Amino acid sequence: MIENNSPRRIGRSVFALLMGFLLVLVLTLLTDLSLRAAGVFPPPGQASSSGPLLLATVYRTLYGILGSYLTARLAPYHPMQHALLGGVIGLALSTAGAIATWSHPETLGVHWYPVALVLLALPTAWLGGKIRTLQISGEEIA
């Protein structure tokens, strides 16, 4: 039997986390670029109003759930813990982003947006992990 801390399992855990983050990053960048090209978002460096930022909050939250689900799906064991670890990393990154942009309202526009991303990091990770654990439970019953 292979232990949970074997190099292979650690590598698979890292892979699961990276794939979840990569999914979120790619989806977010593609959506941002599309919405900027459609004129929904202002050009880079210009402040945005609350409407587009609310839209960004919604799709980034959905992408966070998808990324956490993917992390949990690819995790070699303990899918919820993997999803939540991704959420903790997302919390740290969004907190760093909020701190970095706080003093620059001319480029962001509002303070509620980075705060919302910080507050939503863990709940979205939990929900993505929960969807996977419920799916696993359903597979065991069937």
For the chain, domain boundaries: 7-36+48-141
- In our burial notation (b when 16+ CB lie closer than 10 A, e otherwise), range 78-97 reads ebbebbbbbbebbbeebeee
> Is the pTM value of this prediction over 0.85?
yes
Q: Residue 141: what pLDDT?
A: 60
Q: Residue 125: what pLDDT?
A: 98
pLDDT along the chain (142 residues), means of 10: 66 96 98 95 86 96 98 96 98 95 77 95 98 88 56
* CA–CA dist 58, 63 (Å, integer): 9
Distance of CA 92 to the CA centre of its chain: 11
Q: Residue 142: what pLDDT?
A: 52
CA distances from 81 to 16, 28, 69, 114 (A): 12, 24, 11, 25
Angle between helices 50-74 and 7-37 (to 10 degrees): 160
Q: Residue 2: what pLDDT?
A: 42
Q: Residue 32: what pLDDT?
A: 95
Q: Residue 1: what pLDDT?
A: 36
Q: Residue 7: what pLDDT?
A: 77
